[in-house]
Amino acid sequence: MLAVEIGKKLAKKHFIHHVFGENDFEDGTHCYRLLEHEPFISNCYNFRGSTNDMEPQDAVMVGQKLFKIMTAILESYSSDDHSRVDYMRISQSEEFRRYKEDFSEGKKLLKWIMSYVDANKAGLLTHLLGEDGGGSVHIVYQDYDWSINS
């Protein structure tokens, strides 16, 4: 208890009181100041904000951001030159083979891919799916070169 009183006297003597505000309290043996709760304290740091001023983002917001990132990655991947699209056959990498159960028909896979490719390739896929002379769909999967992962 004596140490707390000495600490308070030292603080009042050597520190400007209005800087610390009225946020000091004690638990009987220690004196505490909650500086990060003072509105002016964020201007005193050399880094942006206090460690306590940010709350975790809402899970829905994080999920939406992740969805946008994953969609952008998929669009970039499927519109890249290694995804060759022509009128009578689609050649995709082995990753799409893993989804064969989800897309049992070839046209289902094409409709799904069409929403992620650039406009030129989407036009080709629309022709494949259309009734205007588009023939049967044949999907060929490329073998994946696993050595590039090393």
Sequence spans of domains, the chain: 2-43, 59-149
Per-residue pLDDT tens for 50-74?
455 556 778 888 888 888 888 877 7
| Greater pLDDT, 133 or 70 | 70
pLDDT digits (tens, 9 = 90+) for 107-124: 677 777 777 777 877 887
Tokens 């989407």, residue located: 122
| Tens of pLDDT, residues 27-56 | 666 666 655 556 655 555 555 544 555 567
pTM greater than the 0.85 cutoff: no
Residue-level pLDDT at 87: 39
> How many angstroms separate the Cα of 39 from the Cα of each of 14, 19, 20, 43, 149?
22, 11, 11, 9, 51
